[in-house]
Amino acid sequence: MNALLKKATVVLALVAFLSIIGPASSSAQLFGRDSKKDKTRLLTGKVLDGGDNPLPNAVVYLTNTHTRAVKTYIVGPDGTFRFPALQPSLDYEVYAQFSNRKSGTKSVSQFDDRTEVYISLKVGRAEAQ
């Protein structure tokens, strides 16, 4: 009976040890895995006029090309904009508008593997009516 008690104690100690080590090893496995789909992308840039001067209060439009959902950003005095937490598996289109003038549309492709993308948007002169 004494041998049986020793075996039971060893088994319980082993189970307790594995319950402590088990979660640690699974979190180590998560840390080491390639989690490309878990990462997000940051889009930053500047809105400039024809003379490369910042255009404060310009509006930047970011379109998700899959859902056609649009996000906007009103730039500050330095002309910069920022769209964080974009999904790297989606394509986006971005353009700026200022005083009835519009920049060209630029794309952020899902095939571009950069986690930070910088784009300058130039707003040209107003078109003659």
At 8 the pLDDT is 55
At 21 the pLDDT is 46
Distance CA 49, CA 121 (A): 8
Please answer whether residues 47 and 60 qualify as being in contact, where contact means their C-beta atoms are separated by less than 8 angstroms: yes
Tokens of 77: 């005095």
At 58 the pLDDT is 97
* Whole-number CA gyration radius for the chain: 27
Strand partners, 114: none
CA triple 60-63-64, angle to 5 deg: 145
At 114 the pLDDT is 94
Is 6 in a helix, a strand, or coil? helix
C-alpha 16 chain-centroid distance: 40
From first to last of its 129 residues, the chain has per-residue pLDDT tens of: 566 556 655 555 544 544 544 544 444 443 344 455 558 999 999 999 999 999 999 999 999 999 999 999 999 999 999 999 999 999 999 999 999 999 999 999 999 999 999 999 999 865 443
pTM over 0.85: no
Residue bearing tokens 């056609």: 68
At 91 the pLDDT is 97
